[in-house]
A and B are shown apart, each in its own frame.
Chain A
Amino acid sequence: MRDRDIDDILKQAAQAKQDVDPALLNRISMSIGSSLQPVRALPPAWILASGLALICGTVAFAGAMLLGPHGVQKMSAVEIGLIFSVLSIFVWLAAMLCVAEAIPGSRRPIAPWLLVASGCIGLAGAFGLLFHDYRTGRFVSQGLPCLNAGLIHALPACLAAWLFLRRGLAVNPVAAGLAKGTLAGLAGVTMLELHCPNFETLHLMVWHIAVIPISGAAGALAAYLVAHNTRALSRRQKTRSRSR
C-alpha cells in the first residue's frame, strides 16, 4: 500500500465527520459574547525580544557598576569584542526563544536545551581562544563568589523577564522557564565578564559558565512548581464549586 492510498483512506475517514451539536456551538458563542471586549494584541516578537535584551543588559550593567567594572577595564579590545559579541548573540537568541515560548504557535529559533548547551560551548570556546592561564590556585574559594554573584544577578533578570512577558501564554511552562532562566543566566555571566578581573581559563570556563545551566535549571524547576501548584489550585476550586 502506497502513502497516497493511506492519504485517501485518512481523508475519507476524516470527511465522515460527526457534526458538533449546534446547541454546544451556540453556548460557546454566547459565553464568549458575554465578555467580548476589544483587546490589545501583543507587540511584534522583535519588540518583545528587544525589551528582554534591554532588561538583561541593564541588570548586567547596573550590577557591574555596583561591584566595579574591573574585568572589562582589564580586557583588550579583541577580548571585549569577542566575548561580548558571543554574549550578545546568545542573549538575543534566548530573548527570541522566551518570546516564542510565551506565544502559542510561534516558531522556535532554537530548542531550549540546545540554547543552554550551545551557550555554554560557545562561551567556553571564546574563553579557550582568548585566555591561556591554566593555573588553578584558589580555584574553589575564588570561584564560588563569582558563581554566587552571577546567580544573584540572574534572579532580578528572571523576575523582570517574567513580568515583561506576563501577558503571554506559555503552553509548555517548563520550556518557558528554562528559556527565561537561561536568559537570566546570560545576564549573570555578562555582569561577571564586566566585573571579574580573574582571567584564569578554568575559572572562567567553570564558575562563570556554570551560571547559565544552573539558572536555566532553576527557571525550569520554578516554572514546573508554579504550573503544578496552579493546576492543583484550579482543581481544588473546581471541586469546591461542584460540591456547592
Chain B
Amino acid sequence: MDSDIDLQPLMARYQQGDYDAATALVNRLSPQLHRFFLAQFVSRSHADDLLQETWLRIHEVRHTYRRGQPVLPWLYAIARNIRVDHYRKASRAKGREDRLDERSDIPEAPPGRSAQTPDLEALLADLPVSQREVIAMLKVSGMSLEEVARATSSTVGSVKQKAHRAYDKLRKGLAGMGMASVRRGGLS
C-alpha cells in the first residue's frame, strides 16, 4: 500500500511528461488496482483488461489531477468508472443484470495458498457491489474513509454505513465458514 504523499510528486512529474515517474506509478499502483478489480468478481483476464483500460483512461485525463490533492481518490474514481462501464457491458451482453454475482467468474485461489487462508474474493462473495467496493478500497488499498468517500462521490457517513453493514454480513459469513475456529486454530 502506498502513501498518498509519496504519490503526489510522482503524479506531478507524470503530468510534466516524465517517463520514469509514469513507470513508477504503473508499477506501484497496478497491483492494488488489479486486486480491486478482482474483488469485484471479474476473472483474471478481465481484471488485466480493466487495468489496461484504466491506465489508458488515466493517461488521457491526467490533466484533471490537481497538484496537492490526494492521488488515490482521483485514481479510484476513474477505476471505478471503468469497472461500472464493464459491469454495464457485461450485463447487456449476458442479459442477466441481476445475476452478476454468480460465482462462476471468481478466480480460483492460486496454487500454493493454504486451504485455511481466506480468499478475499470468497470472503466478499455475499456482499452487494457497493459494499464490496467500499471494503476493497478500505482494506485492499488501505484508503481512509474520506478518500473512499471522495472516490465514490459519497459522504463519509455513507461509507461508514456501508462498511458497517458489510462487516455484519462478513461476521455472519465467517461464522458460517467456521472462520472463528480457524482463527483460534492459528491463522492470526
Among B48, B62, B72, B139, the residue within 8 A (CB) of A10 is: B139
* Cross-chain contact A9 with B123 (CB below 8 angstroms): yes
* Cross-chain contact A1 with B175 (CB below 8 angstroms): yes
> Which parts of A57-71 form the interface with B (CB within 8 Å)?
none
Find the A residue at minimum CB distance from B1.
A14
* Cross-chain contact B35 with A105 (CB below 8 angstroms): no
Taking the closest CB of chain A, its distance from the CB of B23, in whole angstroms, is 5
Of the four ranges (under 10, 10 to 19, 20 to 34, 35 or more), the interface on chain A belongs to 35 or more
- Interface-forming stretch among A26-34, A152-160, A182-190, A208-216? A26-34
Among A12, A18, A29, A105, the residue within 8 A (CB) of B73 is: A105
Q: Given A1-B175, A36-B22, A38-B17, is A24 in contact with B64 using a C-beta cutoff of 8 Å? A: no
* Cross-chain contact A1 with B56 (CB below 8 angstroms): no
Number of interface residues of B (CB under 8 A): 66
A89 contacts partner chain B, Cβ-Cβ < 8 Å: no
Which residue numbers of A lie inside 8 Å of B, CB to CB?
1, 3, 5-14, 16-21, 24-25, 27-29, 31-33, 35-42, 44-45, 101-108, 167-169, 171-172, 175, 231, 235
Known: A24-B30, A28-B52, A105-B150. 19 other contacts (CB 8 A): A8-B183, A8-B188, A9-B179, A9-B183, A10-B123, A12-B117, A12-B187, A16-B119, A20-B31, A20-B48, A25-B27, A28-B30, A29-B26, A102-B64, A105-B69, A105-B75, A105-B77, A105-B151, A167-B64
